[in-house]
Amino acid sequence: MKLYYFPGACPLATHIVLEWIGKPYEAERLTREQTKEPAYLKLNPAGAVPTLVDGDFVLTQSAAILEYLAELHPEAKLMGDSVKARAETRRWLSMCNSDIHRTFGLVFGASYFAGGDDAIAQVLAKNGLVKLQSFFKIVNDRLKGRDWLTGHRSVADSYLFVLLSWADAKKLDLSGMDDLRRFQKKMSQDKGVQAALKAQGLI
Ligand SMILES: N[C@@H](CCC(=O)N[C@@H](CS)C(=O)NCC(=O)O)C(=O)O
């Protein structure tokens, strides 16, 4: 089992889950340039990370990878043990991957999406950050009285932890979102999270 990643990018969610599962794996750090080379594009035609290689099975897309790992290792209990529990995990995983991650993509890539027009880029980045605050408020409300996004630790929690680190990198104002901060603190003290951060050279 091998994970391709950039440090601190979305594959960190998979890296944390591999640590939670506790089975042997390899992780290969790539540069952005390496993800555009023909050999890597054969694995991941989008030229992005993460890519997971499990024997002759190559899987891309964070949500698919996380769900695959959780299904492969039911003993790690990272999806849920009923149809409704698994639906809840997918619901918060989708919010992380399709809503929050995508909006960060717009903020980080504002200049690209604006075609190099600085004024448009500023508007995109500003509105993207406002949208992100509204998404994080929903997640904060969800965490009130809960330790995890669902009734148990799940693959969605590892993703949320990564997104919160991006929020901090962008100095997003999360004031008053104390449940998010409580979650972030608990996760940063988790042994699996610390091992993944260390493996990526982030602590
Ligand atoms: N939908 C993809 C998005 C993957 C993605 O955007 N990855 C980023 C890092 S977080 C990336 O590799 N971007 C390519 C680049 O920056 O050139 C997923 O969920 O895996």
> Domain boundaries in the chain?
2-76+194-199, 83-190
* Cross-strand partners of 98: none
Count of H-run helices and E-run strands, the chain? 10, 4
Residue pointed to by tokens 């990643």: 5
**Which residue has its alpha carbon closest to ligand 1 atom 15?**
48
Residue 83 has a pLDDT of: 97
Which tokens is 142 given? 């969800």
Q: Which of 33, 101, 104 to mutate to test the pocket of ligand 1 (most atoms within 8 A of CB)?
A: 101
**Which residue has its alpha carbon closest to ligand 1 atom 14?**
48
83-190 to CATH, choices 1.20.1050.10, 1.10.1060.10, 3.40.1160.10, 3.30.70.980: 1.20.1050.10
Q: Tell if the pTM clears 0.95, that is, is over it.
A: yes
Residue 53 has a pLDDT of: 98
Q: Which atom of ligand 1 is nearest to the CA of 9?
A: 10
In angstroms, how far is the first alpha carbon of the chain from the final one? 24
**Which residue has its alpha carbon closest to ligand 1 atom 20?**
61
Q: Which residues line ligand 1 (CB under 6 A)?
A: 6, 9-10, 32, 35, 47-50, 61-62, 97
Q: How far is the CA of 60 from the centre of ligand 1 (A)?
A: 10
Dihedral (Cα; 93, 67, 38, 109), 10-degree rounding? 0
**Which residue has its alpha carbon closest to ligand 1 atom 3?**
61
Residue 37 has a pLDDT of: 98
**Residue 75 CB coordination number (10 Å):** 8
Could you check whether 2-76+194-199 and 83-190 share the same CATH topology?
A: no
Residue stretches of the chain with pLDDT short of 50: none
Q: Which of 62, 102, 163 to mutate to test the pocket of ligand 1 (most atoms within 8 A of CB)?
A: 62
Q: What SS3 class is residue 15?
A: helix
Residue 119 has a pLDDT of: 98
Residue 18 has a pLDDT of: 98
CATH H superfamily, domain 2-76+194-199:
Glutaredoxin (3.40.30.10)
